[in-house]
Every structure is written in structure tokens, then in C-alpha cells.
Amino acid sequence: MSGADPDWWRGAVLYQVYPRSFRDANGDGIGDLPGLLSGLDYIASLGVDGVWLSPVFASPQRDYGYDISDYCAIDPQFGTLADFDAVVDGAHARGLKIIVDQVYSHTSDLHPWFAESRADRANPKADWYVWADPKADGSPPTNWQATFGGAAWTWDSRRRQYYLHNYLIEQPDLNLHNPEVQDAILGVARVWLDRGVDGFRLDVANCYTHDRALRDNPPSGRTDAVKPYFLQTHLYDRDRPESLQFARRLRALVDERPGRFLLAELATDRPVEITAEYTSGPDGFHTAYSFMFLGERFGADWIRKGVERLLQAAPEAWPSWAFSNHDVTRVATRWGAGRPQPQFAKLVFALLTSLRGTAFVYQGEELGLPEAEVPRERLRDPDGVAFWPAYKGRDGARTPLPWRAEAPHAGFGPPQGGEHWLPVDPRHLPLAVDRQENDPGSMLRFVRAWLAWRRAQPALVKGDIAFLDAPLGVLAFTRRTRGQAALCAFNLGETAQAIGLPAGDWREGPELGGKRAGAMLELGANSGFVAVAA
């Protein structure tokens, strides 16, 4: 992607770095910014266009960086501001963009803003967080449930009021109905834009505001929920239209700097509708991704319907897609359990980066890593600790990246003894970077070849998409620009299928297992076929 293209992010492939688990430079058991700096050549070698960096800001680490106590400082366990600047400069020198996580929905309870806000009801920041009086019987103001368990309200004896926290008790929600809070957050955004970042990934951007009337959420009707949070339909604690007012102010700020962009994470029960609402028009977020393809549901029909519904709801919007991230079970396990590996991992990687949109690849996907098994006594994720064993939390997707199969701790950091913050799963060792570097059939070698080929195909980067009729289990579509067409067919089922090959002088792309047979394509289970034509 040309650095001069202000729309470089359209069709880009961005690599998510979860810094605690990428590479440890000082041997304290935690990945850090110097470790990331030393790994930039590796990231660039994949052929991606940039890096989404999960939070490295000052934090007590109750939710591992998503509970920020100082928006403008780097947490010492990750390094310094100088280290951050070195990463940004190093990325740019390698032609990589840097997108940083921003958490504007809530802060840590140790943030100075909250310390002042909770002191009394009359201080200058009294209305910077969401405070409410109890009901007459002393119970919380609403029935809202926190994602990590329990009521979303906690009593504070100083103010004799409840404060809202959609996540941990230690993560009080900011009151973004307050223009002063919005101004403060915009000031934070300016700090990082001025340090040269190329955009923001906005954590839970549909949770910026709450229902002012404090209405109760209705029941969801679910009977399979592990968490009480999923027993409600979340009409009033998220997805509020007032969040769009702040989105417009943030977009205006970012638009002052051509080439910067906003990616919204939208955790919602209504992914199509909310994505369309938050990304439509010139003053919404540039793009957004939901958890539509981050759950257990899988199949050609499910993916086609999801993409088509979004296209219908917001035909001018540019979508983003992810199949894995730091919050969900890795796709190689979630969708690929029992499937042949690395063939299945190659297939879904090619699919992710062939859909119309911007693709986000989570660290380890390029290795085809399965979900790690983390013993109960080593769990760190508060979500997993609270709901084990029915839900083991997010630690299985967050274990250290394996660099060298036979090195101590898989080469994650200097061998200074002790334990890293999470253990390396022994099943990851044969999939380490050094093993795959030397294996022509490995997932890593495929990813590099695939992304190098994709980069040269305009239709697969920014082309329109149209789905084709196909047998059960097969997802087939074309991508088209003025000068090129691409044909993509993926057999996501477990039985062989054949489909007609559209007319054209098709030049086959990287090998995905599918074969031409005259005017037909023969697609074995877990195989695909991609080709381009002028």
C-alpha cells in the first residue's frame, strides 16, 4: 500500500500484536515494546500492511491493559515513551502502519479522574463518570449486568451512590454524555496522533453512552447462557444513538490528519444494524468490526448471509473482518477442530483476506496455532477465573508466541528462569516460527506467499464483491475492479463438491487444493480455488 494513499486502510491486512505475549526483551516474563521492536522485521516479512497494537498504557493490569490509569503514559512493564516512539518509527521505516488501541468507554478506578469524581458530589469531575442514586430499597438503579459477572453497579460509600461499570468493578464507566469528558478524550487522541500513530482501534465503541432514563434491559430469552450478562437484551446499556455524537467529533479530529483512520470494535447483539449505523456516512467511523465471525457459528451460508446483510444495510460502508483476536478461542480450534491442519488454517486465512473489507490477523494465526490449554492454577483472565470451568476465559488465546521450538520458553524471552506470565502450550512448539521457516508446506510460508500475491491483485484489495450460487458448504464469489476480476471458491464443508467455472481466462493463484476439470472446479473438503482474470 502506498503511504500517500489516504485510503490505504481499505483492503489492508493488519496484524494484531498482543504485547504481553509477543516477545519479552528483558526476561521478566512479560512481552514489551523493545521485544516488539525486535520483531518488526518478522511482521514485515509476513506481507501485512500494519500493526494493531493492544494497550500498552499505564494500568494496574486488572484487565491486562484495558483498565487505564493514565492515557498518556506507557506502563513501565512495557517500556517507555521513547520505546513507543522507536516502535512507531521502526514500523514506518519498514512500510508498516501503527494502529493503537484506545479505551474511551471506561478507565481504571485508579485513574486520577475517578479519584476526584468519587470524592463527593460537588467536585469539578463529579459528573465525569456514571453515578446514580439507589432505588428506594437500596438496590442498584437498573438491572444491568456486567460482562465479567454480577451487577453493573457498585456502591461507593463516599458519594452514597452507585457507579456504573460494564466490565470489572475496577473499570468505572466514563460519562460521555458530558462534553467536558468528550473534550478530555479528544485531547488524549491528539497526544497519540501527534506521536505519529496512523489510527485507532476503539474498544467497545458502542458502549460510549448509556440510557439517561436508566431503563431496565428486557430478558433475552436465552437458556444456555453461562453468564447472567447474556440473559438480557442490551438495549439501554450500549448501542445508544448518543454515542454517534461523540463518534462525529472524533472523526472530525482524525480527518484533520489525512491518512489516519478509526476502527470501531462493536460488541453487540445486532452486528449488522449497529455496524451500518456506526459506519454510514462521512462522519461516522471509517470502518468497524463486530463479533459476527468471532463466535462458534461457522459455514458458507452463515458467512455469505452476514456479508450480504451488511452490504444491503450499508452499501457504501467499508467493513472489517476478523476470525480471531485476544478475546476469543483461536479460529484453528473454534472452527477447525477435527479438520486437517494446516490445510484448514490456510483455507480460512485465504478466505478472511479475500472478503471485501479490511482484514485483521491475530498474532499466531500466521502459524496456525490452536487454542492453548492453560491449567486452572495459571489462569490470569478475570473472566476465566470467575466462570471456570464452564468458561475458561481468554488466556488460551493469549499465551506467548513460540519463536524457537527448542529454546527455553519457546524463545519468547531470555532464559532467566522462573515462569512467564502465561505458559507456552507444548503443542505450539512444533509450530514455532523457526520450524515453519524451513518447511515449504508450513502455514507461515503459505501466509507470506499468499499475501505477496494478494497485494498485487487490485480486485482482492479494493474490488466489489458478488456471491455466486454454489453447492452446500461452498462459499463462492467474485471480486471486481475496473481492470481485474478475481474468482474465489472455498469448500468449508467436509464432503467434496464441484461447481461450474465462470467463463474467463483465469490465472490460478496460490495452491488451496481445488482443481480445474474442464469447465468445472473440483473442490475437495477443506479446499479452495482462487484465480484472477483481466
HSE-up (13 A, CA, CB side) for residue 500? 5
CA distance 488 to 115: 55
Give me the helix-helix angle, 343-352 and 443-455, nearest 10°: 20
- Nearest C-alpha neighbor of 288 from the set 253, 255, 324, 314: 314
Residues 394 and 388: beta-carbon distance below 8 Å: no
Residue 530, helix vs strand vs coil:
strand
CA distance 41 to 446: 18
Kindly report the backbone phi and psi dihedral angles of residue 190, in degrees, each rounded to the nearest multiple of 5, phi listed first: -60, -40
Type of residue found at 61: Q
- Nearest C-alpha neighbor of 189 from the set 242, 127, 260, 129: 260
Residues 392 and 407: beta-carbon distance below 8 Å: no
* Active-site annotation holds for 301: no
Type of residue found at 262: L
Distance of CA 296 to the CA centre of its chain: 16
Catalytic residue (one of 49, 109, 203, 237): 203
Residue 2, helix vs strand vs coil:
coil
Residue 51, helix vs strand vs coil:
strand
Residue located via cell numbers 488524549: 188
Catalytic residue (one of 137, 194, 256, 296): 256
- Nearest C-alpha neighbor of 47 from the set 274, 300, 359, 258: 359
* Active-site annotation holds for 256: yes
For the beta carbon of residue 280, count every other beta carbon within 10 angstroms.
16
CA distance 284 to 278: 6
Q: How far apart are the first and last CA of the chain?
A: 21
Burial of 30 (0-12, 13-18, 19+ CB in 10 A): buried
Distances in Å between the Cα of 124 and the Cα atoms of 77, 114, 183, 253, 526 are 32, 11, 14, 25, 60
Which cell numbers in the block locate residue 235?
Answer: 438495549
CA distance 81 to 122: 35
- Nearest C-alpha neighbor of 165 from the set 152, 151, 176: 152
* Residues noted as catalytic: 203, 256
